[in-house]
Each structure stands twice: as structure tokens, then as C-alpha cells.
């Protein structure tokens, strides 16, 4: 009847047909016969907890028909580990499937599991590069790379050039910007930093949890200078590109440097004396933060109040609301409210 039923290798197995809920069931699928048959053998195999070479053939067959079947991948991984298979060989088998199914994410968990077990990362960064050639913002692929770097301590000289190559292709690739952040700052911020201890509960009383647990004193000045300069060069290429603006603001906040340290740079793209000539709404947003005297969210109190000018902050926010980014006008209005209320409270208005 089918390729399994006719195969003596599977003669000992009594397939368990799918119970898809009977005649009244919803969203039933007209499965191709081959898929129905293979999955009924899978149910039977799983019921008897068999891990064998024929299981690898069966799971490969099902994956070929439906790579989104997460159970098949998990059972396959268990089988590979039980049988002590060559996991590099498995990764090579997976590669073309990953390339053919860009959106599939089960593959990436499988890959992570095997790479972790292998305790080796040879070929992995190369394959990631191949994947990103097809889809430069693939979330699962970038996440896997971040996991890989942490897992094998790859804070080496390959990651930054890789990011720069990706950004050379598309300076607006935000996934690449995120990876740059991770590569530069991730090593200073081990994942174990924030622990659920009494200490972190106390920290929450003056700063949100996401802002605690950093070891900012360890950032060398030269590193921060380099990252600020990198973001600024990118902004010059395309000032309306939000990614480097987010990066620049993030770097300054992370390092505890006042936003106002880059005010002359920002004013090249948005200057309140020339409101008609704004070249970047993000620069205007940045300028509003500088004039509002926004403090770096972490680090020693190094807020620079000298540039604080509530009137100018409001002017920048009005320009955004009315002219340069009006879809967000309620947001800009809300920011203005906060600034003016704060000014009234402190008598600086």
C-alpha cells in the first residue's frame, strides 16, 4: 500500500493512524498518502521509544515533507544522540534544508542542540553567512549566531569585520546593528549578571531591572569613542536611517555619557535655528532629549544640565508632531507634557 507497509524492514511495526478528531473535527488536512503513512509509523516508533538507524530514515522522510513538524526534529535529535552519530555529518545534511526553508525555525533549535553537544563550532559561522546572504535579517539565524558567540566565547576579531561587511551591504540592516551591540557590549554583560536575589529587588527601587547588573566601569574610553564614531559615520551616509541613531543613543547611555556630548554632531542634521532644513527626524528626536536634559539611564550621575532648555525641547517636539513625524504626534505631545510638567515642578520653566 505504501513505501513503509511494503518494506520488510518495517514489517514488525504496527502503524498508529492519526486520530484527527473524527468526522466533526475542525481544520483537518487532506494529507498526501505518503505523509499519512510516514507519520503513523512515527507515532508507533515513538510509542515504543525506539532509537535506531531506521528512525533516522523515517524522520528524514517526514522532515522532507514537512520541516515545520517540531516533534520530528526533537525525536531525531534524541535518536542521533542515543546512537552517538557523527553530528557534523548531520549538520551538513541539515544545511540544504535550512537554505530551502528560510522561515523554518525548528531547524535552528536542532542545530543549536547538536552544536552544543559537539562542543565545536567549525563551519558554523560560514554557514550562517550563507544563510544571511539569502535573508540578511533572518531572526533565527542572527539569534543562533549570538548563541554561538556566547557558547564558544568567540569575542574575537571575526565578529566586528563580519558585522561591518553586512552593514556595508545594507547600512539599514538593524539585525546587524544589534549584533554589533552584542559583540561589543555582550562580553561585558554576562547573562548571569542579573540574579533573582534580594540585591536586585532593592535595585529595582531606583532603576528598572533591565537597567541593573551592568559592569559599566569596565568599558574603556577608547571603545566608547570607537563606537560613537562608527555610528556617526553611518549616520552621515543616510541621516534618516534610525538604526545608527538608536545605536548612538544606546552607546552613550550604556557608557554613562551625557547625550549632549554629541550635540554639535546632531545639529548638523537638525538645528532649531533652521527648522525648514531638518535632514533627520531622528536627529530632532535626539536633540529634544538633549534639551530635555535626559540623563543616561545607567552609570554615575553624569547628567549634563548645561544644555537643558525646556523651550527648545518643546520646539523640537512640536516640529516632529507637526511636520517631520506626525503619525507619532500623540507620542511627541506626551513627551512635551512630561517635560513641561517637570519644569513647572522644579521651577525651571
Residues 59-78 touching another protein, rule: CB under 8 A, are 65-66, 68-71, 74, 77
Residues 229-258 touching another protein, rule: CB under 8 A, are 237-243, 246-247, 250-251, 253-254
Residues 205-224 touching another protein, rule: CB under 8 A, are 208-212
Distance between CA 265 and CA 286 in Å, rounded?
Answer: 11
When the beta carbons of 127 and 335 are compared against another protein, the nearer one is 335
Total interface residues for another protein by CB under 8 A: 94
- Candidate segments 120-128, 158-166, 220-228, 324-332, binder of another protein by CB under 8 A: 324-332
Q: Are 97 and 107 in contact (CB under 8 A)?
A: yes
Measured from the CB of residue 173, what is the shortest distance to another protein in angstroms?
7
Measured from the CB of residue 349, what is the shortest distance to another protein in angstroms?
20
When the beta carbons of 35 and 121 are compared against another protein, the nearer one is 35
Measured from the CB of residue 269, what is the shortest distance to another protein in angstroms?
10
Asked whether position 102 contacts another protein by CB under 8 A, the answer is no
> Cell 536634559 belongs to which residue?
293
- Candidate segments 86-94, 106-114, 214-222, 223-231, binder of another protein by CB under 8 A: 106-114
103 counts as catalytic: yes
When the beta carbons of 31 and 51 are compared against another protein, the nearer one is 31
Asked whether position 328 contacts another protein by CB under 8 A, the answer is yes
Q: Are 325 and 299 in contact (CB under 8 A)?
A: no
**Which CB contacts under 8 angstroms, 24+ apart, belong to 195-200?**
none
Measured from the CB of residue 343, what is the shortest distance to another protein in angstroms?
17
CA 160, 166, 167, 169 torsion: positive or negative? positive
- x/- mask, another protein, residues 24-43, rule CB under 8 A, reads xxxxxxxxx--x---x--xx
Q: Are 188 and 215 in contact (CB under 8 A)?
A: yes
E strands of 64-167, at which residues? none
Length reported for the chain: 349
Asked whether position 174 contacts another protein by CB under 8 A, the answer is yes
**Which CB contacts under 8 angstroms, 24+ apart, belong to 277-280?**
278/319, 278/323, 278/324, 279/239, 279/240, 280/235, 280/239, 280/240, 280/245
Given 112, 271, 307, 340, the residue binding another protein (CB under 8 A): 112
Asked whether position 115 contacts another protein by CB under 8 A, the answer is no
Least Cα distance to 213 among 152, 257, 254 occurs for: 254
- x/- mask, another protein, residues 303-322, rule CB under 8 A, reads --------------------
Q: Are 138 and 132 in contact (CB under 8 A)?
A: yes
Crossing angle of the two packed helices 53-65 and 33-47, in degrees rounded to 10:
140
CA 19, 22, 25, 30 torsion: positive or negative? positive
Q: Is 324 exposed, middle or buried (0-12, 13-18, 19+ CB in 10 A)?
A: buried
Distance between CA 72 and CA 46 in Å, rounded?
Answer: 10
When the beta carbons of 8 and 173 are compared against another protein, the nearer one is 173
Given 261, 268, 297, 307, the residue binding another protein (CB under 8 A): 297
When the beta carbons of 91 and 106 are compared against another protein, the nearer one is 106
Given 95, 200, 261, 315, the residue binding another protein (CB under 8 A): 200
**From 9, 103, 117, 168, active-site residue:** 103
- x/- mask, another protein, residues 261-290, rule CB under 8 A, reads -----------------xxxx---x-----
Which residues are marked as active site?
103
Amino acid at each position: 500500500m505504501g513505501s513503509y507497509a511494503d518494506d520488510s524492514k518495517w514489517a514488525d511495526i504496527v502503524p498508529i493512524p492519526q486520530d484527527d478528531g473524527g468526522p466533526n473535527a475542525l481544520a483537518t488536512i487532506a494529507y498526501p498518502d505518503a505523509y499519512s503513512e510516514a507519520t503513523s509509523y512515527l507515532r508507533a516508533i515513538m510509542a515504543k521509544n525506539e532509537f535506531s538507524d531506521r528512525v533516522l530514515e523515517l524522520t528524514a522522510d517526514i522532515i522532507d515533507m514537512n520541516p515545520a513538524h517540531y516533534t520530528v526534529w526533537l525525536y531525531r535529535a534524541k535518536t542521533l544522540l542515543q546512537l552517538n552519530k557523527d553530528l557534523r555529518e548531520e549538520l551538513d545534511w541539515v544545511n540544504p534544508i535550512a537554505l530551502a526553508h528560510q522561515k523554518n525555525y525548528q531547524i535552528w533549535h536542532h542545530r543549536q542542540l547538536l552544536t552544543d553537544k559537539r562542543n565545536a563550532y567549525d563551519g558554523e559561522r560560514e554557514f550562517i553567512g550563507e544563510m544571511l546572504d539569502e535573508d540578511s535579517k533572518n531572526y533565527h539565524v542572527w539569534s543562533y549566531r549570538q548563541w554561538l558567540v556566547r557558547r564558544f566565547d568567540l569575542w574575537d576579531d571575526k565578529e566586528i569585520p563580519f558585522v561591518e561587511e553586512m552593514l556595508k551591504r545594507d547600512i539599514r540592516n538593524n539585525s546587524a546593528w544589534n549584533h554589533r551591540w552584542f559583540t561589543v557590549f555582550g562580553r561585558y554583560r554576562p547573562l548571569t549578571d542579573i540574579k533573582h536575589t534580594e540585591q536586585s529587588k532593592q535595585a529595582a527601587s531606583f532603576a528598572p531591572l533591565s537597567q541593573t547588573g551592568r559592569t559599566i566601569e569596565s568599558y574603556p574610553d577608547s571603545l566608547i569613542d570607537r563606537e560613537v564614531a562608527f555610528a556617526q559615520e553611518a549616520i552621515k551616509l543616510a541621516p534618516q536611517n534610525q538604526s545608527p541613531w538608536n545605536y548612538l543613543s544606546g552607546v552613550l547611555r550604556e557608557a554613562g555619557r551625557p547625550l549632549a556630548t554629541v550635540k554639535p554632531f546632531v545639529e548638523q542634521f537638525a538645528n532649531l535655528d533652521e527648522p525648514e532644513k531638518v535632514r533627520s527626524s531622528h536627529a530632532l528626536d535626539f536633540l529634544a532629549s538633549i534639551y530635555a536634559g535626559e540623563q543616561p539611564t545607567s552609570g554615575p550621575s553624569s547628567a549634563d544640565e548645561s544644555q537643558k532648555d525646556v523651550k527648545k525641547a518643546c520646539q523640537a517636539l512640536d516640529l516632529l508632531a507637526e511636520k517631520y513625524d506626525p503619525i507619532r504626534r500623540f507620542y511627541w505631545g506626551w513627551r512635551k507634557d512630561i517635560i513641561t510638567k517637570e519644569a513647572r515642578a522644579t521651577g525651571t520653566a
